Amino acid sequence: MKKERKDKVKYGIYSIFIRYIILILISFSNLWIFYFLLTPLTIYPVYFILNIFFDVNLIGNVIFFLSYNFSVEIIEACIAGYAYYLFAILILSTPKIKANKRIKMLAFSFSILLIANILRIVMLLPVYTCSPDLFDILHKISWYFLSVIFVVGVWFLEVKKFEIKEIPFYSDLKFLLKQIQKSSS
């Protein structure tokens, strides 16, 4: 019985170490992996959807509205790499999730965010053709206010959908403190 408990403790500590190392490594690269993968996954659908309704051209990450004589550059902030990283933090800092379930959670949250972000960009850009001032207001509201509500909402949806019982960071910290108390007794 004691060996089984020791193995469980060892696995718990190993799991914490691996999950947090992954988070640190992702952040050291300045979230490069998110932008590398998600920039084309965002820009091309936005371009193809806008091309249905407008005469647009795409060069690199700049969309040219030919009839309206203006262009929009899709920058890193538009890709929302930090929102993807926030989901990664929430998912990787939550213990007692099996690897396949963790991958499903990442895929679920990333997919929802990608689709919502594409729709956000597609709905905002035509507003610029009518009113650049209204575009600025709507862009700031969606950036500062709605994005936070969206991330929190998707996280709660994941907690319910994937039946998550643990709390990010807190559950790991509680586990480690419990192990420290047991070892010092």
Which tens digit of pLDDT belongs to each residue from 159-183? 999 999 999 999 999 988 988 888 7
pLDDT for residue 79 is more than 60: yes
Which tens digit of pLDDT belongs to each residue from 81-98? 999 999 999 999 999 999
Parse the chain into domains and list their residue ranges. Answer: 2-184
DSSP 64: E
Which tens digit of pLDDT belongs to each residue from 33-78? 899 999 999 999 999 999 999 999 999 999 999 988 889 999 998 8
Q: Where are the beta strands (DSSP E) in 66-167?
A: 70-73
Task: Calculate Rg over the CA atoms of the chain.
Answer: 21
Non-local CB neighbours of 176 within 8 Å, separated by 6+ positions: 13, 16
Confidence of residue 5 (pLDDT cuts 50, 70, 90): low
Q: How many residues make up the chain in this entry?
A: 185
**What pTM value is reported for the model?**
0.88
Q: What's the rounded Cα separation, in Å, for the pair 18 and 104?
A: 18
pLDDT at 28: 84
How crowded is the C-beta side of 117, counted as CA atoms within 13 Å? 29
